[in-house]
Amino acid sequence: MSQGHWIKVAIDAAYAAGRLLCEDRDWHVNDDTGRDTKSSADEAAETLIRRFLSPIAPVLGEEQGGKFLENDPFWIIDPIDGTVNFHRGIPLGCISIALWDKGPKMGVVYDFYRGELFYGVVGEGAFLNGMPSFVSKISHRHSAVIFTGFPISSNFDDNSINHYTNKVKDFKKVRLLGSAALSLAYVASGRGDYYEENSIKIWDTAAGMALVKAAGGFVSYTSGIVCDVVAHNGLLKPSQSSA
Ligand code: IPD
Ligand code: CA
């Protein structure tokens, strides 16, 4: 089966899950412990996406788990990235679907609130609603926008606040959207320039990392399900303290 077919299936899955999330008025919270929230909507969307993808390759997903494969291709999915935003009616979030093959290869990020579809294949290019998309050309931090977030495990002590301040202080603007996948899609389309987040789950970032690479940018990450990720336009170098 060709990669062209794989991306078509991933896009079909993202559109189907987007329709489900826009139409589901009866969702309910299943678990709201600590800083994490889970709902019936996340669960139903993941079940639907898996129906499209699992005949092609194994799936690792936020809600229903799976294995991180070191040597074989597999899908990595997040049925809603920006779950708390979704629950609170903040229209910032997306469906995130990646193909991982010893690294990020293909990404689909669908912002179902705005009908914006970001997709890309590493080495072939990135697109936003069918139009080619590229990372920005901004080369100085004082002109650049950084996207970031606080790790779910953060206890907001002095160390984590200092780390945050050091990370963002040289940039023109900082944005915390509450969706890592959407933040990375915005770097891939030149709406921002740099993304960094530590202790983030791979399903939050895999598709976005593929998009940034496909759009001509640079990504680095520690390996495994919980990782530290830096992604940027290739002109803004990570600081000494990052990644
Ligand atoms: C969260 C988002 C957020 C990031 C959190 C993630 P969720 O994923 O990606 O941007 O800062 O660490 O947990 O819970 O909305 O799927
Ligand atoms: Ca997520």
Sign of CA dihedral 221, 106, 135, 148: negative
Question: What per-residue confidence (pLDDT) applies to 29?
Answer: 76
**Mean pLDDT value across residues 193-200:** 96
Would the pTM of this model clear 0.75, i.e. be above it?
A: yes
Angle at 80 between CA 219 and CA 116, to 5 degrees: 70
74-81 and 94-100: which strand pairing? antiparallel
Residues in contact with ligand 1 (CB, 6 Å cut-off): 62, 78, 81-84, 149, 151-152, 178-180, 197, 200, 204
d(Cα 228, Cα 220) in Å, to the nearest integer?
A: 8
Residue nearest to atom 8 of ligand 1 (CA): 81
Q: For 50-80, what is each residue's pLDDT tens digit?
A: 999 999 999 999 999 999 999 999 999 999 9
d(Cα 94, Cα 186) in Å, to the nearest integer?
A: 12
* Mean pLDDT, rounded, of the chain: 93
Helix H or strand E segment including 72: none
Beta strands in 82-158 (DSSP E): 94-100, 104-111, 116-121, 125-128, 131-133, 145-147
SS3 9: helix
Q: For 123-153, what is each residue's pLDDT tens digit?
A: 999 999 999 999 999 999 999 999 999 877 7
Sign of CA dihedral 73, 222, 80, 7: negative
